[in-house]
Chain A
Amino acid sequence: SQQGEEDPQALSIQEGENATMNCSYKTSINNLQWYRQNSGRGLVHLILIRSNEREKHSGRLRVTLDTSKKSSSLLITASRAADTASYFCATDAGANPGGGNKLTFGTGTQLKVEL
């Protein structure tokens, strides 16, 4: 079963605008991660935020985590056409139900950045 659900499923913006994607999950977690997938390619790890962190930055990426609401958001600032891809959240539930030695991925948000 899917631990994470991304919202929206698809997002289309103009270059230069900010893109915000949200992820909700069900069980308590050790960390939450965001990945990017270009069409027909493997996933690339973008950023990891631990359960005791509330916000993290990496370049144009900003991730927030609200463990009380079991949700996270990924903000891409000043988007570029090259940011067009699918974005997935993934959770490490550790010893909690659905955890163990594996990440559980959400359903993804398809981002299209138009010139």
Chain B
Amino acid sequence: EPEVTQTPSHQVTQMGQEVILRCVPISNHLYFYWYRQILGQKVEFLVSFYNNEISEKSEIFDDQFSVERPDGSNFTLKIRSTKLEDSAMYFCASIQGIGSPLHFGNGTRLTVT
């Protein structure tokens, strides 16, 4: 069964550094998402992306975040200047179309020191 793949599985970075989290959505999916989960808390929506532009974003997704689909397969989340509170599990997800189920990757655990 096709799946969403995320790399790396774990990333450690120093406060103030830029990080790029990478995702390869399922190949025939059209809508892409980033979510985050701070340890022990619920899964929070960050941003959705369709047709090469952001379609929806939450208040968490401020100017330090950006997303990009640089080619036909990758979908990236960039955090420009990481803060300690950015430490979380970041999940990428995709759907084939509106009304279809969301499929999640295994996540990237980001630790900011």
B is bound to A: no
- A residues near B (Cβ < 8 Å) are none
- B residues near A (Cβ < 8 Å) are none
